[in-house]
């Protein structure tokens, strides 16, 4: 079965963090295509030399395709920016129906070399920020009797199997990255239980294989690993941001298995 032809998110308001490039951009574009009014957020608005893509370019593409979008520059490591993101989204677009926590900052190195500053920053952006943003949008979702929260995670959150252990876990410095993603997944399932009776779906979503985004490529995450097209993550995200909250919630889901289970394919571009 191909992707649904209706606009599943018509009239809804979505926030997508980390939407200047890669998976965040793809999800924002897919939600806008499905009818959502989207607030996209990132630390910087205009292009930077380090990476391809920018928040302003995401906005241009969505508007060129006929979507409604606003850009809100915000650093998810700062509590005041998180609060401003939600407040400005509500002021410019309306109450938030969909929250996609995609923003991330990641360092890969042996745990003995991790500084406290980097450790705290990873937890602030990838655990505290999703938690706090959810705290701000859930009350409105409860009042309206529906809502969708999606946390972008990773298979790195799964416990390494061993001994013997895969050399990847020894050589790539994944321990702290795995910790933040495991924490995010546990928050997802716990919150899903808390808000189930309110009609709010809460899920985590990770690529099944690696996605070659500008950020991932900079960290060599795609070297020697199987790859998947970014459209698979975008379509799976749409599914989890529009599905029935009574049946499609509390998942730590992976793009390809989820789409196969739901008999859904990305929309041709």
- 186: tokens are 């546990």
The question of whether 172 is a catalytic residue gets the answer: no
Sorted by sequence, the CB contacts under 8 Å of residue 222 that are 6+ apart come out as 210, 211, 212, 216
Domains of the chain as residue ranges with CATH: 13-261 (3.40.50.720)
**Which pLDDT tens digits describe the chain residue by residue (269 residues)?**
334 447 899 999 999 999 999 999 999 999 999 999 999 999 999 877 667 789 999 999 999 999 999 999 999 999 999 999 999 999 999 999 999 999 999 999 999 999 999 999 999 999 999 999 999 999 999 999 999 999 999 999 999 999 999 888 888 899 999 999 999 999 999 999 999 999 999 999 999 988 876 654 444 444 556 789 999 999 999 999 999 999 999 999 999 999 999 999 887 65
**Which listed residue (51, 169, 172, 177) is catalytic?**
177
- 5: tokens are 């032809």
Determine the pLDDT at residue 215: 53
pTM: 0.92
Distance CA 200, CA 139 (A): 11
Phi-psi region of 229 (alpha: psi -120 to 50; beta: other; left: phi over 0): beta
Distance CA 17, CA 75 (A): 9
Name the E strands within 141-224.
147-152, 200-206
Contact 202, 193 (CB under 8 A): no
């Amino acid at each position: 079965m191909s992707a649904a032809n209706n606009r599943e998110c018509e009239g809804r308001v979505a926030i997508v963090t980390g939407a200047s490039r890669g998976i965040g951009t793809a999800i924002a574009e897919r939600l806008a295509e499905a009818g959502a009014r989207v607030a996209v957020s990132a630390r910087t608005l205009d292009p930077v030399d380090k990476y391809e893509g920018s928040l302003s370019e995401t906005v241009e593409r969505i508007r060129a395709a006929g979507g409604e979008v606003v850009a809100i520059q915000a650093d998810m490591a700062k509590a005041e920016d998180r609060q401003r993101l939600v407040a400005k989204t509500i002021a410019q677009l309306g109450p938030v129906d969909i929250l996609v926590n995609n923003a991330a900052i990641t360092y890969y190195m042996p745990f003995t070399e991790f500084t406290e500053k980097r450790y705290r920053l990873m937890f602030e952006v990838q655990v505290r920020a999703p938690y706090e943003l959810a705290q701000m949008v859930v009350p409105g979702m409860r009042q309206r009797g529906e809502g969708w929260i999606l946390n972008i995670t990773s298979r790195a959150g799964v416990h390494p199997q061993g001994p013997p252990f895969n050399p990847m876990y020894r050589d790539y410095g994944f321990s702290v990255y795995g910790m933040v993603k495991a924490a995010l997944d546990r928050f997802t399932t716990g919150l899903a239980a808390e808000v189930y009776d309110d009609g709010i779906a809460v899920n985590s979503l990770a690529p099944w294989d690696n996605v070659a985004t500008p950020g991932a490529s900079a960290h060599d995450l795609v070297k020697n690993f199987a790859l998947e097209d970014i459209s698979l993550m975008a379509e799976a995200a749409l599914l989890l941001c529009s599905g029935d909250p009574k049946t499609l919630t509390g998942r730590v889901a992976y793009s390809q298995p989820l789409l196969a289970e739901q008999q859904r394919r990305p929309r041709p571009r």
